[in-house]
Amino acid sequence: MSKRPVPVLEALGRSRFLLLLICLLLQFAIEPILVEKGFAVFGRDLAFGAVLIAGVWSASHHPRLLTLGLLLATPVLFATWVMGPAPGPTRRTLALAFALAFIVFTAANMLVLVLRSKAITTDTILGGICVYMLLGITWALTFSILEILEPQSFGTPAGPLNVASAERVVVVPELLHYSVFVLTSMGPGYVQPLTPVARAWTGIAAITGQLYLAVFIARLVGMHASQLHRDG
C-alpha cells in the first residue's frame, strides 16, 4: 500500500509561497518572544536565515533566478551564521546590502508572478501577502543602512538606536517594527526619524505601502471580474 503524503509537505509542494509566508511570520513574531527568553540575537539571525532559504526556494522554478538568488543569499547567510554575532561596520554594511538586494530581488520576482496570474488562486493571494511583508523587511534594511551611514537618524524615547555597535547582523527589530508601522499608516510608533533624510525616506516608505495595496487589490478585483466574465 502506498503511503499518503504528509499534508503539510503536500501543501508546501503545491505552493511556492507558503514556506516563505511561514518563515516571514516567524521573522515578525519570533523576536519579541526570544527577547524575553534571552535568545534575541540567535533567534533573529535564525529566523532571517530561514527567510533567505525560503526566498531561494520560491525562485527554484527558474534556474537563472535560482542561481541569482543563491549568489545574493550566500554572503548574508555566511555573515549571519558563520562569522559570529558581533560584526564590524564594514561586514555589517555589506551584509545589509546583500540582504537588501536579495529581498528586493525576491519581492520583485514574486510581484511579477502575482501580476501575471490570470486567475485568483490561493498561491496568488499568498504571494501578494509575502510581497507586502517583504516590503516591511526591505524598508527595515534600508533604514538600517541609513542609520549606519548617518548615525542617529532614528531614535527612541530611551535614546539612539546605535545600530553600528549593537550585537546584530541583519534585521534590527526596532526598525522592522518601525517599517511595519509606516507601511500600514499606523504612524511611526516609538521610533522617530530625526534627520531630514530619515523623514524623507519614511514618507517614501509610507507611499509605497499604500500604492502596493491599491495595485494589488485592484489586480485581484480585475482577475475576479475576468473570472466571472469567463464563467458567465
Q: Give per-residue pLDDT as tens, 66-83.
A: 788 888 888 877 766 655
- Contacts of 222-230 with C-beta under 8 Å, sequence gap 24+, read 223/117, 223/118, 223/119, 223/120, 223/124, 224/120, 226/118, 226/119, 227/119, 227/120
Give the pLDDT score at 6: 47
Whole-angstrom distance, CA of residue 104 vs CA of residue 98: 10
Angle in degrees, 0-180, between the axes of helices 173-183 and 122-149, rounded to the nearest 10: 120
Rg (CA), the chain: 19
Spatial contact of 177 and 189, defined as CB atoms under 8 Å apart: yes
Maximum CA extent, the chain = 68
Asked whether the whole model's pTM tops 0.85, one would answer no
Question: Cell numbers at residue 208, please?
Answer: 509605497
Least confident stretch, 136-150, 174-188, 216-230: 216-230
Tell me which H or E stretch contains 155.
strand 154-156
Q: Is the pLDDT of residue 175 over 80?
A: yes
Whole-angstrom distance, CA of residue 104 vs CA of residue 157: 31
Q: Note the helical H segments in the chain.
A: 7-14, 18-37, 40-58, 63-81, 89-116, 122-149, 173-183, 196-231
Give the pLDDT score at 7: 55
Nearest in space to 45 (alpha carbons), one of 73, 77, 22: 77
Question: Which of the four pLDDT bands, split at 50, 70 and 90, describes residue 50?
Answer: confident
pLDDT, greater one: 163 or 41? 163
